[in-house]
Amino acid sequence: MSDVLTFTMAALLIGGGATAFMDLWAALQRRLLGVPSLNYALVGRWIGHLLRGRFTHRSIADAPPVRGEAVLGWIAHYATGIVFAAVLLTVWGVQWAHNPTPGPALLVGVATVVAPFLILQPGMGAGIAASKTPQPNRSRFRSLVAHVSFGIGLYGAAVLAAAVLPA
């Protein structure tokens, strides 16, 4: 199998698996602790408006709905996880996927919190690092926890993927 195909397969398996783990963690928090999850339909709405040239909103919830926004949001969520896994594999090499260690996965997971802080939250009306939310520190902490869970998921998915990735 070619190096490009191995890299692509690793990014898909690891990024998709890590994102699924992040979603399972969010569902567990919602069920046991009542912690609300991100509404990916609103992410899709933001992307839909972004494609029409509008980057920021006062409140994305008040913006007009976009056709297919839920599907668009969920696809973007998983595509972002796959891209972040590809970044990990670019920096540490595809060999990391054959013998994963937790350090790089956790580092990338924590680093990815920059994306919602500087792109998604400001664009959706929550301000930089959730500064315009009613409880910014709580929102920041929840984002950090979500992205740490993504890092744990990167490592766990890599351990599982190592068993099926071609050498």
User: What pLDDT, in 10s, does the model give residues 18-28?
Assistant: 999 999 999 99
Of the candidates 166, 167, 165, 117, the residue with the CA atom closest to the CA atom of residue 143: 117
Of the candidates 138, 137, 127, the residue with the CA atom closest to the CA atom of residue 57: 127
pLDDT value of position 166: 84
**At a CB cut-off of 8 Å and minimum separation 6, what does 84 contact?**
15, 18, 108, 112, 150, 154
84 in any annotated domain: yes
Q: Over 70: is that where the pLDDT of 37 sits? A: yes
pLDDT value of position 1: 64
147 in any annotated domain: yes
67 in any annotated domain: no
Q: What is the mean pLDDT of residues 19-44?
A: 95
User: What pLDDT, in 10s, does the model give residues 90-128?
Assistant: 999 999 999 999 999 999 999 999 999 999 999 999 999
The SS3 assignment for 15 reads helix
98 in any annotated domain: yes
Q: Over 90: is that where the pLDDT of 2 sits? A: no
Q: What is the DSSP string of 101-139?
A: -HHHHHHHHHHTTHHIIIIIHHHHTS-GGGTTSSSHHHH
How many domains does one find in the chain? 1
54 in any annotated domain: no
Q: Over 80: is that where the pLDDT of 167 sits? A: no
Domain range for 107: 3-38+74-162
The SS3 assignment for 37 reads coil
22 in any annotated domain: yes
DSSP, res 60: G
Q: Which two tokens stand for residue 9?
A: 């397969």
26 in any annotated domain: yes
Q: Over 90: is that where the pLDDT of 156 sits? A: yes
46 in any annotated domain: no
pLDDT value of position 111: 98
Q: What is the mean pLDDT of residues 16-40?
A: 95
